[in-house]
Amino acid sequence: MKIIATAVREDRHWLVRNDTYPSAFTTVTRLADAAEAHREAVAFVAGVPAAEIEVEVEPVVDERLADLIAEARAATRDAERAQRVAATLSRQAVARLRAAGLTGVDTAAVLGVSPQRVSQLGKTA
């Protein structure tokens, strides 16, 4: 059974609840503990073993902060994509420079990386 719970910060605690079992109300001090604590509460209220329950906790934050978080996550995804493209292009460049007869040290100088990085890129080309 999968439960989607919301966590709202109040003072120094997170209040965790879900719509399926509203009486399974949990309070935790650390958001990292919310899923496990709420899973146990739902198991108790529903009368089922905790092992049968999966809880996904969605923290509720101010709308402006939620927008900032969404932008940060999108930028992280974009950066990861750009890093993969850069690595692919770098591997191709190393392979072509080495095929053209350049040494590892010269290839490193052309690419502006260390000889160790050229070695790493050459092994995965």
Sign of CA dihedral 82, 84, 89, 90: positive
pLDDT surpasses 80 at 115: yes
Mean pLDDT value across residues 93-114: 97
Domain extents in the chain: 2-60, 65-123
List helix spans (H) across 30-111: 34-46, 63-99, 104-111
User: How many Cβ atoms from other residues are within 10 Å of residue 115's Cβ?
Assistant: 14
Three-state DSSP state, 41: helix
Band (pLDDT 50/70/90 cuts) for residue 125 is low
DSSP assignment letter at 48 = S
Mean pLDDT value across residues 21-26: 94
Mean pLDDT value across residues 92-120: 96
- Output the pLDDT for position 45: 96
Band (pLDDT 50/70/90 cuts) for residue 124 is confident
Structure-block tokens of residue 53 = 């329950």
